[in-house]
């Protein structure tokens, strides 16, 4: 993958505190600031303060904060895919990819808010897309079909993972209040007005759980059913 930052801008440079400045260090610091203070903490000024360097030094590594956002999104993908080696079962491999993506988002729930819908144009994303489409090609799908089905799969994964991360990023009191609502509010509804909810009220508490794995499994079952000549069909 061609590097977007000229080679001379990638040399590791010491900050005022003696720390060697690098792209990885900047991304690490940005993730920490976002985790502590939210996405609004992502500014050149705050990063410069946290790194102990002149904010202008960051432009040797990134074109601006949006370029840094893309690097953060790509880091989350890369961390999630570390050690992933697809096996012979393409369905199982896609499922593991999905679980890894969710774990990556939950590790950085506040950063995941802007990571899910960006195209990073960077190595980790490119390798992940290569892997996913290759798995669908190995299942026998034609190139155009494999590409569209991968998009449907990964959009499902990213959407649900981002929603789980957004919930995780809420203050604990709000998360607990949302969970309690399924008992405090929904259990007392009028049966005549809400017969379906009354029928399932004993299990309504599960509505507070993540639907991630159910959604992924439904998508994978649909993909397996459509796979040309697949024994799973």
**Given 46, 63, 80, which residue is the final one in a domain?**
63
| Per-residue pLDDT tens listing for the chain (233 residues) | 334 454 444 455 566 666 789 999 999 999 999 999 988 889 999 999 999 999 999 999 999 999 999 999 999 999 999 999 999 999 999 999 999 999 999 999 999 988 888 999 999 999 999 999 999 999 999 999 999 999 999 999 999 999 999 999 999 999 999 999 998 999 999 999 999 999 999 999 999 999 999 999 999 999 999 999 754 44
**Given 63, 90, 107, which residue is the final one in a domain?**
63
The answer on 29 and 15 residing in a single domain is yes
The answer on 156 and 49 residing in a single domain is no
* pLDDT reported for residue 41: 87
CA-to-CA distance for 96 and 213, rounded, in angstroms?
A: 11
Any domain includes 232: no
Q: How many domains does the chain have?
A: 2
**Given 36, 63, 90, which residue is the final one in a domain?**
63
CATH code for the domain in which residue 56 is found: 1.10.10.60
The per-residue DSSP string of 15-72 comes to -TTSPEE-HHHHHHHHHHHHHHH-GGG--HHHHHHHHTS-GGGGGGT-SSHHHHHHHH
* pLDDT reported for residue 97: 98
CA-to-CA distance for 97 and 74, rounded, in angstroms?
A: 15
Expressed as residue numbers, the domain containing 57 is: 1-63
| C-beta separation of 152 from 159 below 8 A | no
The answer on 178 and 141 residing in a single domain is yes
The answer on 218 and 182 residing in a single domain is yes
Burial class (CB in 10 A: 0-12, 13-18, 19+), 215: middle
* pLDDT reported for residue 232: 45
Any domain includes 123: yes
The answer on 91 and 42 residing in a single domain is no
The answer on 74 and 57 residing in a single domain is no
- For tokens 């432009």, name the residue: 59
Residue 53 backbone zone (phi > 0: left; psi -120 to 50: alpha; other: beta): beta
The answer on 148 and 51 residing in a single domain is no
The answer on 68 and 57 residing in a single domain is no
Any domain includes 231: no
CATH code for the domain in which residue 97 is found: 1.10.357.10
């Amino acid at each position: 993958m061609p590097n977007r930052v000229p080679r001379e801008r990638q040399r590791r440079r010491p900050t005022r505190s003696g720390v060697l400045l690098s792209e990885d260090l900047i991304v690490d610091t940005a993730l920490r600031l976002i985790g502590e203070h939210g996405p609004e903490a992502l500014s050149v000024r705050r990063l410069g303060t946290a790194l102990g360097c002149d904010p202008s030094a960051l432009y040797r590594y990134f074109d601006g904060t949006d370029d840094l956002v893309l690097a953060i999104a790509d880091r989350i993908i890369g961390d999630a895919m570390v050690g992933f080696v697809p096996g012979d079962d393409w369905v199982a491999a896609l499922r593991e990819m999905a679980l890894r993506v969710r774990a990556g988002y939950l590790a950085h729930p506040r950063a995941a808010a802007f990571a899910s819908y960006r195209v990073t144009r960077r190595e980790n994303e490119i390798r992940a897309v290569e892997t996913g489409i290759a798995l669908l090609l190995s299942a026998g799908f034609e190139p155009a079909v494999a590409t569209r089905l991968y998009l449907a799969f990964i959009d499902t994964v990213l959407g649900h993972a981002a929603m789980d991360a957004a919930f995780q990023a809420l203050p604990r009191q709000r998360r607990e209040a949302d969970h309690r609502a399924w008992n405090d509010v929904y259990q007392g509804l009028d049966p005549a007005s809400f017969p379906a909810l009354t029928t399932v009220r004993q299990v309504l508490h599960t509505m507070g759980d993540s639907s991630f794995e159910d959604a992924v499994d439904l998508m994978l079952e649909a993909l397996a059913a459509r796979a040309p000549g697949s024994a799973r069909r």
